[in-house]
Structure 1
């Protein structure tokens, strides 16, 4: 598509795609401020309520493997509309749940359905645009997407001031209805029939296996998942970090999320500004280094005893988030360009890696991080491992290009 694009594709389409991608993270942390009230009403403790996050993430991860490949077969819009419609019903179920098992069942249904919007929407920009234009628009989506984790707890806390905790899930249902209308009225179908793959179990699984067998997918996918996972420690563990470590209240989640997500949005804006001016490889390397510096800073601040004091407590994770904002849109495009015939499968598998890591983090790691230093050390391990994956990828690319005598690798065609 031409570099000169109309207002619909420059503004409306990215806004709708960003809203669609928001629904997944938005659903994770909006209930956080309601945990004390939910615990009293459902007669459970905070540890049990952590399952509200874990079950959602596990279900999202399980179904994330299939949303993308199905969209490769039937088109993008049907998968998004069907997923959001089920999400609306699940949200209404959460709102009327009167026991923890029932609430967890509907949260699982939320997780199974939310990926229809969050995952598939990422393929649409690359379906429509190429090169610097794709990077600029992916960055715009990332900027809006980054708002979700910041406004989720703030909105949850505000809703608690006007009504009981089920109002939070009622709001999510209303948001889902609006997104269904936006997809139907504003989004074009970007995956034409002639480019679709057969809707058969063998074809879907075969496409996933074909992508999963390529080493570059794992190097890029794990680099993305691990570096963002360092930031997710603070998102998934916000109830622990804000309340237990920092000693704040239910309306104070903004003290973590505003600087952290604001930094990620700034990084995404910088990524868009760099489109066409800086190579993708240099941009990702810069972002990885920034995140690693943030990990080191977080450990130093915590070791000096200021890790539970504001604003020092959020300096490290904010720098990690800045680097994430720079790298995330570019790494997503690198993965999509690597497998042009299986974009849905690529996004699904990459999301699956990240979601499994985040789910394990929420259930197994966060409960062990009872201090600012614990959070900081875990984050540093994540960004360090992610940077090693990126360095490994660059080294192998340099070797292969030197052997082939070319400057860049060709995309992988998966038929």
Structure 2
């Protein structure tokens, strides 16, 4: 693969990875206006996020296995076309119920491109090159959660909340064109499996029952949840707990996403070093230190005084971003012939967990900044423990 084609593929995959954060985060500044128009409570508005994540999670079980059978590009093209139409439906929704229906449709098809793009990267690259590309994708991806709510705030200055969904429509149409004309097919016919539900479900069972896969899938998912708790809870954390406004989301997202980008950058620079497990362990150790700092700050008189409630989440994001690409690649390498299935199942675990966080955990723990820090700590500590368990079992096996 030439450098030009490789760079083009990396950029497109990174843009695909941004569709999820943009679909979730750009809508946050509009929650108050949607609530006023439809007479919805905070708990009802949280379902705008959670129903998207639930549908994304369950649909993600099938995107990867289907791509193992018919190829990566056909599934990505069909998914992004349907997502574009669903975004139009959201913009034209006359009630909260209809909006939630189209959010569910968005979730069903968003993963077709975002999830399969990970398998595509591993199809095209090996070893440290795969780690570097995944880290570069994570760097660009990291911009999205910081940029999306800011863009959402800007769009609200020129129109009402519907403008945000028309923006998502345009972005999805651009991605559809880039997939169609800019990405190679990375899964040749000779490597494809039969498109039959029996073998698909059998592959799912085999992957899901694998102990190392389960440990790595939950380690990466729970580690990301330590920071996603703050991302999904941003409307409550920023507006109600910190007392900021609908155009102040950048105060939180810029430092946090800077941490994500720096962590991914350091990972990419260390890729040729070759000690990927050590890098992941260092990243998770940094995350644990950040968790301890966050608990200390949020239990002190500085709990709601900027910048202190922002410091802990930003450092948590740095540590997890340093480890995340390695956890993902280690998991995919367990099943070289079923990478699509492995990527789908890991995404299912992560998205189901994130949907529960958005719809159940956040309403329960968002009373204070300290209670949010405690919940974040529980996710991060469990993730680090699972990674330590995986390393211990691997060394004993060796």
Residue 396 of structure 2 corresponds to: 399
Q: What secondary structure does 1:276 align onto? A: helix
CA RMSD, aligned part only? Answer: 0.9
Residues 233, 362 of structure 1: 8 Å contact kept? yes
Q: Does 1:197 align with 2:178?
A: no
Report if the CA contact (8 A) 2:131-2:326 is conserved: yes
Q: Which residue in the other structure is 2:346 paired with? A: 350
Note the 1:286-325 alignment, pairs <5 A: 286-325=282-321
1:336 equivalent to 2:346? Answer no
The aligned runs of 1:2-21 (5 Å cut-off) are 5-9=2-6, 11-21=7-17
The aligned length equals 397
Cα distance between partner residues in 1 of 2:43 and 2:25: 15
The question of 1:24 aligning with 2:11 is answered no
Task: Say whether residues 1:386 and 2:383 are aligned partners.
Answer: yes
Alignment correspondent of 2:153: 157
In the superposition, relative to structure 1, how do residues 331 and 235 fare at CA in structure 2: closer, same or farther (>3 Å)?
A: same
Spell out, residue by residue over 1:201-252, the C-alpha distance to the aligned partner (whole angstroms, 9 max, x if none).
0111111111111100011111101111010000110111001111000001
- The runs of 5 or more residues in structure 2 that have no matched partner are none
Structure 2 counterpart SS, 1:308: coil
The one-character-per-residue Cα deviations of 1:350-370 (angstroms, maximum 9, x if unpaired) are 011111111111111101221
**Counterparts of 2:99 and 2:33, CA distance in 1:** 14
Is the aligned partner of 1:246 residue 2:242?
yes
Divergent runs of 4+, >2 A:
none
Is there any run of 5+ residues in structure 1 with no aligned partner, and where? Answer: 402-415
For 1:128 and 1:323, how far apart are their aligned partners in 2?
Answer: 27
Provide Cα deviations, 1:158-203, integer angstroms capped at 9, x if missing partner. Answer: 0000111100000001111100100111100000000001101011
Q: TM-score, normalised by structure 2?
A: 0.98
The residue aligned with 1:232 is 228
Aligned counterpart in structure 1 of residue 256 of structure 2, from 228, 253, 260: 260
Q: Contact 1:240–1:370 at 8 Å: present in 2 too?
A: no
| Helix, strand or coil at the partner of 2:384 | helix
Aligned to 1:370: 367
Task: Kindly state the Cα deviation for residue 150 of structure 1 after the two structures are TM-superposed.
Answer: 1.0
Preserved CA contact (<8 Å) 2:128 2:274: no
Rounded to whole Å, the distance in 2 between the matches of 1:273 and 1:385 is: 27
Partner of 2:113: 117
- Which gives a bigger RCO, structure 1 or 2 (Cα 8 Å, sep 6+)? 2
* 2:34 is equivalent to residue 38 of structure 1: yes
Matching residue of 1:143: 139
- 1:93 is aligned to 89
Q: How many angstroms apart in 1 are the aligned matches of 2:209 and 2:39?
A: 47
Aligned-pair CA distance for 1:47: 2.0
| C-alpha deviation, 1:307, in angstroms | 2.1
Displacement, 1:278? Answer: 4.1
Contact 2:53 2:351 in 1 (8 A): yes
